[in-house]
Amino acid sequence: MSRELHVSLLVTVACLLPLSIATIAQETVSAWAPFGYLLGDWVGEGGGQPGQGSGEFSFHPDLQNHILVRKNYATYPPTKDRPGLRHDDLTVIYRESDGAPPKAIYFDSEGHVIRYSITVSSDQKTVEFVSEASPSSPRYRLTYVKTGSDTVTIKFEIAPPGKQDAFATYIEAKARRK
């Protein structure tokens, strides 16, 4: 090959490479578009079985937009029956392959590990995490509903072992973007 052809080929590849990288990055960001309203930092308050509490959570892309990371903490003040407590958790949202439905794995400060399937409503205002069914373990459902441009409601429900769809509300909360 002539020197001119090498230079021409090198210039062509150098010009096209950023376009391919940009296209791949855009496709990855588009894959998370249904979660777009949840991205960012949030503060909320609510209550349920653990009592009234408050906390913060965030959803942020990570690993060059290949996953979303949700971090959360909630604090509950002491009552006459128990000391104050803090709950921390981390959820990684991922796709096993391009075009596959999103899944999540959850870890918390109490030692729980929960695997979730995720569905997004057709209007993209509701994101629902539902744990795998098991006859010997509780089943969990976590739902975010967009209620405004910077507000969401959150509901965490638990179904007892052997009653996979008998969900009862454990916590309900409202949150606003920081």
In 3D, which of 86, 139, 146, 84 has the Cα closest to residue 117?
139
Q: Residue 37: which of 115, 170, 156, 153 has the closest Cα?
A: 153
Sign of CA dihedral 148, 152, 153, 156: positive
Range from 3-7, 9-13, 159-163 that averages highest in pLDDT = 159-163
Q: What is the mean pLDDT of residues 36-47?
A: 93
CB atoms within 10 A of CB 31: 17
Residue 12 has pLDDT above 60, yes or no: no
Q: State mean pLDDT over 21-48.
A: 75
CA distances for 99 relative to 4, 92, 95, 103, 111, angstroms? 42, 17, 8, 12, 31
**Which pLDDT tens digit goes with each residue over 71-104?**
999 999 998 888 999 999 999 999 998 889 999 9
Radius of gyration (Cα) for the chain, nearest Å? 21
Cα–Cα dist 91/69, whole Å = 6
For residue 19, name the pLDDT band (cuts at 50, 70, 90): very low
Give the count of beta carbons closer than 10 Å to the beta carbon of residue 153: 16
| Adjacent-strand bridge partners of 105 | 92, 115
Please give the helix or strand (H or E) that residue 14 lies within, else none: helix 3-31
Q: Are 168 and 141 in contact (CB under 8 A)?
A: no
Q: Are 84 and 75 in contact (CB under 8 A)?
A: yes
Whether the model clears a pTM of 0.85, i.e. scores above it, the answer is: no
Give the span between the Cα atoms of 12 and 1, in whole angstroms: 16
Residue type, 67: I
pLDDT tens track for 136-164: 999 999 999 999 999 999 999 999 998 99
